[in-house]
Every structure is written in C-alpha cells, then in structure tokens.
Structure 1
Amino acid sequence: MDVATGAAGCGPAPVSYGFYQDGYGGALAADAFAEALPAALRCVGALTGVRDVRDEWDEGDADAWRRAVCAAADAFAEYGEGRVGGFSIGSFSVTNYRDEGTTGSEVAREAALAELAGTGLCFAGVR
C-alpha cells in the first residue's frame, strides 16, 4: 500500500505510506499510519495553515511538511489524542508518561514543530 486515501476514501492522502516508510523512516504498519493520518493532518494544518503540499514550495519545504505529518502520526499512533499516561490492571501496568498533564496532541505538535523548524512554514499570522 503506497498511497493512503484521504477522508472517506476520497482520493490520495497528502502523505503516502511510501514516503512515511522511505522518506521519513517510520515503523508503523500501513493501517496504523492510515488511522493516525487524519489527526496528524489536522495538527500540521493548524501549525502551517495548509493541509497539503503547495506547488510554490521548494522540495525541502515540501519534505519538511510531509515529515511533520509523519512525526505527528507517530505521536498520535503511540499516545492518541488525549492525555498521556498509563494504566494498571491487576499486576499488569503500562506507562507511557512523558510529562505530567501532557496530551498526545501536545506531543504530536512538538514533534511536528521539530520537523518544521527553520522552514518558515509555521503559521504565525491572521488568515
């Protein structure tokens, strides 16, 4: 599966699974990537003001934008969109604490911003 589909299967997604694996070096399975992709696109869209690569961008900016989506997808796949924490069932416990009070959305935002650093793509004005 090289090309994930967009919302409700309506055409190709802005970041393909092939780019996620080869360009970004991601390790999620195709279905996990596809499941996390909508939240990642919302996250990066909020940071940049766009939800797809723009024709006027050079290849470096386009790749940085795609890598930001991939980084956010990894975070959402690991933490979800809610609060980052852990749980216990009997003697079995799972923890994925990062910081107290942190949400998966905040972790994804930080990961995406790290990929966008130095590009000028982060939205900082009025639309």
Structure 2
Amino acid sequence: MHRIFTKSVASVYPMYVAKLEKKGRTEDELVEVFEWLTGFDEATLRRHLADGTTFQDFFAQAHLNPNVSLISGVVCGIRVEEIEDPLMQKLRYLDKLVDELARGKKMEKVLRVPA
C-alpha cells in the first residue's frame, strides 16, 4: 500500500491551497474542484478535513463525477488514464485538476464542462 493512502486529506490540503494561491487562484476554486470530483459539498469536505480522514477513506466515501474519464494527461511522469490502482488513479485525478487550475486553465475546462 502506498503511504499517501493513509495520509490525511487535511495534511495535503494546505499545500494545494498554497500552490493555487501562489498562482493567483483561490481556495474557493479548490473547493469547487473537490466538489466536482468527489460529489462532497463544502460542509462534507470541511468535516473530512477536520476529522483527519485518510485519502483511502475519503475516496471510499466519494461519488466520483461521471466525467472523470475525461481527465487525461501526465502527473508525476505517469498518464493518469493508464494508472491501474483505482485509488492511486483517483488521487492523480485530483492532482491533475489542481495542476490545471494552477496553470491558469479556465474552471469550465478544468471541470470538463461540455462546450
């Protein structure tokens, strides 16, 4: 099992916020990405952060967006659509969305909104 699976979402969340704020994006946009990906509303996300929920438990309770299959590209040198471990793939989907937001992509593109 990968070490990241047993890390709390709350331990990584501030790093996501810092990365995005450094690039002129907001925590509200990060919350929107989390909501889109996991189906959790902001209150549920905040509860998971406060409770120290691990990534393993966090994604076990999530209802992934039906459009996650539209997320493609490379994270950490690996194509997200080719990752075989389902939990690692979900984590990399999140990383990919955060990366796209940090690179200045429009929210509609990040959230795979049909044109």
Q: TM-score range by the shorter chain?
A: 0.3 to 0.5
Q: What TM-score, normalized by structure 1, do the two folds share?
A: 0.32
| Structure with greater Cα Rg | 1
TM-score (norm 2): 0.35
Query: Relative to total residues, which structure has the larger helix share, 1 or 2?
Result: 2
